[in-house]
Structure 1
Amino acid sequence: MKKINILFLLLLAEAISFSSCTKDFEDGLNYNGFNNGNEGTGGVVQSGTFKATVGGQSFVANTSSAIVTNDFVLIAGIRTSNKDLIQITLPSNKVGTYNWANSKDQGDKFVLSYGSVDSENPFISASNEVAEFFGVTNYTDTAIVTITAVDKTKKTISGTFQFTGFRDIGDDKTETKVITNGSFTNIPYTENAPVIESDGFLKAKIDGVDFVQDKIDVAAVSSSGTYPYYSIVGVKDGERDNSILIGVSKSYAVGTYQASSAILNGGGDGPVNVANSSCILDDLIYTTESGSLTITSKTATKIEGTFNFVVSNFTTGKKKTISGSFGINTEDL
């Protein structure tokens, strides 16, 4: 059987940190036609219920949570006594039914899985065609997820689900697990997606307003005609067309440095200066005009600092101020 690598996202509801804002829900998403069981609680939403039948046995999560953004929905239930988890990821936040037939074009956002929180080999759902491609035998797709209600006021989500998952057990063999009678009722959700900050952090403001990115990319740039520098890019809503870049020379020690370009001054042996910023907003590119960057701490593996730049768009003449702080891990760069 062909090998398949699975990225199993574990939503640990008691520990996960949310720090990225998302867009408002589309008109018509709110649906309040259900009883969430919280009457008499002063409007405080109580923990919802997440349950299913897994391989013929009852599964009742004692910890559950959800993320509902403009681009995807993630719902997870964890049974801490057994250290097992069911995760549901959907490509839309709209009330309705999802299956492989109508979600195959966004398969990376249609993820149904069951497994141990300690294992990287969960049972995952796939279409019959994908299962056949990977050589899975005796497999029938049963995936159906229905979002029945989303309450924007109380920030809860409800629905039902079922699916069949498979996993590789070695020697070109697989095993399956059938999940039925699944339901998630009044699960509290956040509208914030977790920021991916494995390479460090970037906290920035544009004209005094927080720029809340959902991904950070850090790279060491060395090429002909430029000084070696670290590139720190914060991307919002997963689009490079909505991003901020900070450039900082690899040679900088603790101190303050005025805005400068990564381009070599005439290709000579001039000072190594890279302290700049740029951003892309509303299809306009803004590049460094003035400002400075300060390295507050530098070790063999980490650099931290602050910045304050004025950037401008060459065509329109519009200017913006970019300010904030950063910290990057440089050990593997």
Structure 2
Amino acid sequence: MGFIACDTEPVDPVLLDNIGNNPGGSTGSFTVNFNGETYTATTTLAVINNGMLVVSGLRGSQGESVSFAVPNPAVGTFSGDDLIMYYQPTGSSYQYLNFNMEETSGSVNITNIDALNQTVSGTFSFTGWWSNDEEDVEPIEFTAGAFTNISYTGTLPGGGGGNPTDDVFTAALDAMDYPIANVAVAVADGGLGETISINGLDAVQNKVVLTIDASLTPGTYQITGNMLEDVVGARYVTVSPESVYMATTGSIVINSKTEDRIAGTYSFSATNGTDVVNFTGTYDVDYSF
């Protein structure tokens, strides 16, 4: 299961593309209130892959679902730019997303992760904006969301009883070493083909994000700041204060690419409209989901 982007606003590829092939089972419960009713999932799915937790509650057999993705899951609260959250209505190729071109919304509070029994519980809420911004559709408030004892597959970041990841992501901010604590990788279908998203997170969840068209071969690809035309992109997201620095110039170099790994270097300048940051670094990650 992956995000399907609209034609006018590309979706940040953070949901795992193959969650449907990694069902966490139908145990546990998943509910959320919206449009004057309580949505109760008939099937639950959850997977942890390359540091990313994706939880979905599906209702019926026609594709209706509410889903969210959390990088580096642990007990605690995640909000805003750390998350991708969405509602997929039946019979539509568009979704209600927790972000638009101007703002983000939502929070996920993970209250318990039982690594022995591989279940996860917590609460969530978000405002969902219609992903086709050419249509005048009112946003929807999703409130009192709860997921309880949802079975998951995969391994928690940092081991969690399994083998630690061998992914590598390095960064320098304005020529000074920038420590990366965790790496999360996802592949999603943005409507025009698959995109690889590589997230390098520091200890307080600030993150450097690279996006790469999955069809690219080794070479050098320029970042111009045109999200609809560029085949690569980058940004820097800070938690406190909350801010998004979008890359306007730079490049991503793919040195090697196989069926399961991609490696190279990057450099970019990014701005939040006021300040400018400059990043350089390397990446070598597994993207075979």
* TM-score of the two chains, using structure 2 as the length reference: 0.48
* TM-score of the two chains, using structure 1 as the length reference: 0.43
- The structure showing larger relative contact order (alpha-carbon pairs under 8 Å, at least 6 residues apart) is 2
Higher strand share: 2
